[in-house]
Structure 1
Amino acid sequence: MELRQLRYFVAIVDHGSLSKAAVVLHIAQPALTQQLRQLEDELGVQLLHRSAQGVLSTDAGKVFYEHAQAILKQVADARSAVTQCSERPSGVVTLGLPHSISGALALPLLTAARAQYPEITLQLTEEITGNLSEQLKSGRINLAVLFDDGQLGGFASTALVEEELRFICASPAQEDGADGDSEQSLTLAEAVQHTLILPSPLQGVRPRIDSVAHQAGLSLQHVIEINSIAILKSAILAHLGATILPAAPVLDELKRGSMRSRRIEQPTISRTVVLCASRNIPLTNAAEAIRKLVQHVSQQLCAEQLWPGARMLP
């Protein structure tokens, strides 16, 4: 198996046809077809379904595609690591952000990276935390912002901030345009009596909420499970239920007054936001620079109170 075969296969899948991939790769289509056939013969499986409309990955092809992407990224990172200058880091760095964090961190980080490291191409990917963990393990991304749920032992982790979770609901019609940050608090027992719109178990804030509720002897009775922040917000605005989330993902709605948030007490709920890297795959100079930058930007946002509900950790 050769690296060029991996590049050819990824290009074919990305472009959906052999002919388009051949043009992009500057290789004759018969030669590309031969390389694909040799790869399938070596693996002993069919990777692609071919038709007049193009190609589709088989189940085996989908699995191989993920591994091929990870291998090619690690090769590119290895090449970059031995050629780039530590004083002027350059190259591509991929950082994974959970949906509920990107609203607070993504834009300030992109702005800071562009100003301080113009030769680094920072790629941000937004996913649910389970997907980010798998991508980090496989080497498809360099860094990921995750939540400390006690299951991060396989990663090199650095604590960033402690983030408060709040009870968030739609504002009554007569309150539209009012300040959505309510000083009125409620207990966790009162919060779980509502219909709650939350991520599915093991995703996002849900494990933390379930854990704190269980320790308090409470259970979530009425839950609508939605893993998309955008859909979750639409459901709240449609008065289908409330949620327990950090304030950052709904900051615009809180400012407009279409939503309001209340502090949860007895007990309070918070989560530790951490920056993770693989223990097995070394960081390039560029990735190490971005790792430090994420820490700095997070601290700056907290100091300037631009990350609602977050406080700095040592």
Structure 2
Amino acid sequence: MDIRQLRYFVGVVEAGSFTKAAALLNVAQSALSLHVRQLEEGFGTQLLIRDRTGVSVTASGARLLERARKILKEIQLTEAELTNTAASPSGEVTIGIPSGAARVLSGPLIEAVRSELPRVSLKMIEGMTGPLEEWMGAGRLNLAILYRTADTVGRMTILAREEFCLVVPPGEPPFEDSIALSDLHAFPLAVPMRNNNVRRSVADVVANHGCVLDVRFEVDSLSTIINMVAEGKAYSILTPSAIQKETASGQVRTVKIVDPVIIRSVVLAVNPKDERSPAVSAVRTIISNVVKRLIESHAWPAMAPDGAL
């Protein structure tokens, strides 16, 4: 048994057939068949069941598949650790980004990593903040961009500060440039679920000022919330970055919330086990630089960490 045989065996199982695996692995089908047959002869047991529809694993094959995946993963991690240096970072970095921030940050970040870190493979997971925080806590992410109120930032790096606004259907009131927090009760809202940090940021300020909100819909999908507002089914409370495209095209309007202004921090969190990873550190630096450029060019309607526009 050698590593190549394990890779081919896993490739055949995951592809579901020798033909598909040969195309994906860029190996002749006859060679794949030979290596798998040598594995079976070496172990003295059948690993795959072959038929006209493809392949499936036997009980022995299932055990080998589980072990082979672990072995190959360890080899990949070892290669990454031995070749990953500060001067030439390499490896895989997984980052979680909230849907709102992803709308302005994903494209520039992917381009910057591709250009500046050619040996780093970036995996980007987009979602609402609640699930992202859970995945970060479970160690599934190396980095995560999260939202925090001013007193809950802790040791995380502040990338930007954003102000919330009332998102209004086209042609609907209010028609002023700003609205007091105490007047928001007049508008039926579609907002994220209660475990969402965006929701908590707004709810804390509203509660502290003795105000109420008319929450009609709780939806854990940014695109669905925006569509509801554009179709006149509800209003929402979001940051300008989340609805830039829709605002520019006239699908929705924004009205600044005042008395008081609601501000949240956009922060960068790192998994403690990855603090010393050259690849993770390099991506952290790029994220900070990209966000700074976006704010300075007004591509991201937010304030710098020091409060400057």
TM-score computed with the length of structure 1 as normaliser: 0.74
- Amino acid paired to 1:82: L
1:91-129 CA-partner distances (Å, limit 9, x unpaired): 222111001110111111112222222222222110122
Alpha-carbon contact 2:185-2:214 (below 8 Å) kept: yes
Matched with 1:123 is: 123
Matched with 2:260 is: 267
**1:79 offset after TM fit, Å?**
3.9
Once residues 20 and 151 of structure 1 are traced to their aligned partners in structure 2, the CA distance between those partners, rounded to angstroms, is 54
Aligned-residue sequence identity (percent) comes to 28
**1:141 offset after TM fit, Å?**
2.1
Instruction: Return closer, same or farther for 1:255/1:39 CA change in 2, 3 Å cut-off.
Output: closer
Alpha-carbon contact 1:163-1:271 (below 8 Å) kept: yes
Q: For structure 1, which runs of at least 5 residues remain unmatched after alignment?
A: 1-6, 43-67, 176-181
Once residues 147 and 311 of structure 1 are traced to their aligned partners in structure 2, the CA distance between those partners, rounded to angstroms, is 14
1:224-270 CA-partner distances (Å, limit 9, x unpaired): 11111111111111111111101112111111112110100011111
Q: What SS does the corresponding residue of 1:223 show, helix, strand or coil?
A: strand
Alpha-carbon contact 1:142-1:283 (below 8 Å) kept: no
Matched with 2:103 is: 103
Matched with 2:304 is: 312
Q: What SS does the corresponding residue of 2:213 show, helix, strand or coil?
A: coil
Max Rg structure: 2
**How many correspondences in the alignment?**
273
Alpha-carbon contact 1:98-1:204 (below 8 Å) kept: no
**1:22 offset after TM fit, Å?**
8.7
1:34-83 CA-partner distances (Å, limit 9, x unpaired): 1535899x9xxxxxxxxxxxxxxxxxxxxxxxxx99x9878745541332
Match of 2:203 among 203, 210, 213: 210
Instruction: Return closer, same or farther for 1:152/1:159 CA change in 2, 3 Å cut-off.
Output: closer
1:264-311 CA-partner distances (Å, limit 9, x unpaired): 001111111100111234452111101011011111111121101x11
The answer to whether residue 85 in structure 2 is matched with residue 85 in structure 1 is: yes
Once residues 194 and 268 of structure 2 are traced to their aligned partners in structure 1, the CA distance between those partners, rounded to angstroms, is 22
Instruction: Return closer, same or farther for 1:72/1:284 CA change in 2, 3 Å cut-off.
Output: farther
TM-score computed with the length of structure 2 as normaliser: 0.75
Alpha-carbon contact 1:84-1:90 (below 8 Å) kept: yes
1:177-212 CA-partner distances (Å, limit 9, x unpaired): xxxxx8610011212321011001011410101111
Instruction: Return closer, same or farther for 1:255/1:72 CA change in 2, 3 Å cut-off.
Output: farther
Once residues 139 and 14 of structure 1 are traced to their aligned partners in structure 2, the CA distance between those partners, rounded to angstroms, is 25
Within 5 Å, give how 1:12-91 maps onto structure 2: 27=36, 30-31=46-47, 33=58, 34=60, 36-37=62-63, 76-77=76-77, 79-91=79-91
Matched with 2:29 is: none
**1:172 offset after TM fit, Å?**
1.4
Within 5 Å, give how 1:158-177 maps onto structure 2: 158-172=157-171
Alpha-carbon contact 1:73-1:139 (below 8 Å) kept: no
**1:169 offset after TM fit, Å?**
1.1
Matched with 1:51 is: none
Within 5 Å, give how 1:191-202 maps onto structure 2: 191-202=184-195
Alpha-carbon contact 2:295-2:304 (below 8 Å) kept: yes
**1:90 offset after TM fit, Å?**
2.0
Q: What SS does the corresponding residue of 2:273 show, helix, strand or coil?
A: coil
- Amino acid paired to 2:122: L
The answer to whether residue 128 in structure 2 is matched with residue 157 in structure 1 is: no
Matched with 1:139 is: 139
**1:144 offset after TM fit, Å?**
0.6
Instruction: Return closer, same or farther for 1:77/1:206 CA change in 2, 3 Å cut-off.
Output: farther
Instruction: Return closer, same or farther for 1:131/1:217 CA change in 2, 3 Å cut-off.
Output: same
Alpha-carbon contact 2:148-2:201 (below 8 Å) kept: no
Once residues 112 and 219 of structure 1 are traced to their aligned partners in structure 2, the CA distance between those partners, rounded to angstroms, is 43
Q: For structure 2, which runs of at least 5 residues remain unmatched after alignment?
A: 1-6, 26-31, 41-45, 48-56
Alpha-carbon contact 1:74-1:139 (below 8 Å) kept: no
Matched with 2:53 is: none
Once residues 211 and 12 of structure 2 are traced to their aligned partners in structure 1, the CA distance between those partners, rounded to angstroms, is 52
